[in-house]
Amino acid sequence: MPLKSWIETANAPDCDFPIQNLPYGVFSIGGDAPRCGVAIGDRIVDLAAAEAQGYLDAGGSFSAPQLNDFIALGIVKWTEIRGVLTALLAQDGDQNIPTVAMADATMHMPIRVTEYTDFYASKNHAFNVGVLFRGPENALPAQWTHMPIGYNGRASSVVVSGTDIIRPMGQLKGEDGPLWSACKRLDLELELGAVVGANTAMGERISVEQAEQMIFGYVLLNDWSARDIQAWEYQPLGPFQAKAFATTISPWIVTQAALEPFRSEGAPRVNPLLPYLQESRPGFYDLNLSWSLNGDVLSRTNYNVMYYSSAQQLAHHTSSGCPMRVGDLLGSGTISGPTPDSTGALLEMTEGGKKPVKVGDGERTFLQDGDIVTLDGYAQGDGYRVGFGPCTGTIVSAKE
């Protein structure tokens, strides 16, 4: 029998936030200041109030409007607080711990994003997109199966679920040169984001095992993409303005501890990795992922299709001596399975806009103003599931 909580809604088998999960976020009620909380059923444990009342000891960090100060306390403190909360919220726990109704709360950015790096770690996605841009013979770059490929994104445009996404303006390729226009090929990307929970020094390299200990948890992540702007700008240095305008993350950070029972092998290796990227145990998770457009689910996939884990990405990020910071966000790259209905982006699903997909009573090749995109994800346990809650964004017209 799975562990149960005295909060009955947490015991429903389809609840995203059972006692086995306990994800962290930042919330406010009415005009109150934002503070840290933990989701359980349809309630939020007010961690700032719980600490003030002596239930927890996190050095006062839970009264901050981001989780960075708590995360910086390290893995020993993360483990301690998770154990205390599990005991308090279990069926025989303390029902006086302060909670609020989730329905009354406004969710905020859970962390102050210090840096944002996005990777390209699904072999299916990399091959499909490579075919569109370079043909099947040159779809995968020669180095792709040897190291995680990524680019440095913009921390300043990472926003929390529910934030409207403004269609970007930019340079597009015209017949006789560049055109200035609103993006006409706006896309989503279904990703998982890893939250870095420790600093490293400049010049310091870390192993994959050390990287695992540094990851605090995960969020759903939508790397919005302006495909026409990207096609014109991406050579020779990769994406720039096509990716800089917005990235959406889910409000709840699901901890690595909560995902531990769901470890999974990733995609089969094409060739051995260099020693610094080799894992001693599987670094992926059996996470059911999907995305929907205006309420219609268009794709279902799983995180275990990925080729590089977040720990491998983090280890590679430090391989040059690049310093990492608490609150750094690492995007997994688009999570795509082998079939059209398991792809993580419209670019793949529509084969570059050639094959429209049915949405409601109409069709789409790329996103239109007013479209609502929702990412969902959960790991299925025995009688419970560990979920992220939805990650949504609504497209609004460009500021021309």
**pLDDT exceeds 90 at position 1:** no
116-396 domain in CATH 3.90.850.10? yes
pLDDT at residue number 238: 87
Contacts of 67 (CB under 8 A, 6+ apart): 24, 25, 26, 36, 61, 110, 111, 253
Tell me: the pLDDT tens digits for 368-379? Answer: 999 999 999 999
Nearest C-alpha neighbor of 311 from the set 330, 328, 325: 330
**Sign of the torsion angle spanned by Cα atoms 340, 191, 155, 236:** negative
**pLDDT exceeds 90 at position 133:** no
CB 384, CB 20: distance < 8 Å: yes
Instruction: Please give the Cα distance from 328 to 218 (Å, whole number).
Output: 12
Mean pLDDT, the chain, rounded, equals 96
Catalytic residue among 125, 146, 316, 317: 125
Q: Give the CATH superfamily of 8-108.
A: Fumarylacetoacetase, N-terminal domain (2.30.30.230)
Instruction: Please give the Cα distance from 148 to 308 (Å, whole number).
Output: 6
Give, as one character, the DSSP assignment of residue 37: E
Tell me: the pLDDT tens digits for 251-299? Answer: 999 999 999 999 999 999 999 999 999 999 999 999 999 999 999 999 9
pLDDT at residue number 131: 87
Q: Provide the residue ranges of all domains of the chain, joining segments of one domain with +.
A: 8-108, 116-396
* 170 beta partners: 181
**pLDDT exceeds 90 at position 138:** no
Q: How many Cβ atoms are within 10 Å of 68's Cβ, its own excluded?
A: 20
**Predicted confidence band of residue 313 (pLDDT cuts 50, 70, 90):** very high
pLDDT, average across residues 216-232:
97
* Cα distances (angstroms) measured from residue 269 to each of 286, 304, 330: 18, 13, 22
Instruction: Please give the Cα distance from 73 to 63 (Å, whole number).
Output: 14
pLDDT at residue number 136: 84
pLDDT, average across residues 339-360:
96
DSSP 84-137: HHHHHHBTTS-TTS-EEEGGGEEEE-SS----EEEE---HHHHHHHHHHHH-GG
Quote the pTM value: 0.97
Give, as one character, the DSSP assignment of residue 34: P
**pLDDT exceeds 90 at position 154:** yes
pLDDT at residue number 137: 83
Catalytic residue flag (residue 125): yes
Instruction: Please give the Cα distance from 232 to 242 (Å, whole number).
Output: 9
Decide if 8-108 and 116-396 have a common fold.
no
Pairing of strands 24-29, 35-40: antiparallel
Give residue for tokens 């226009």.
Answer: 181
Q: How many Cβ atoms are within 10 Å of 163's Cβ, its own excluded?
A: 15
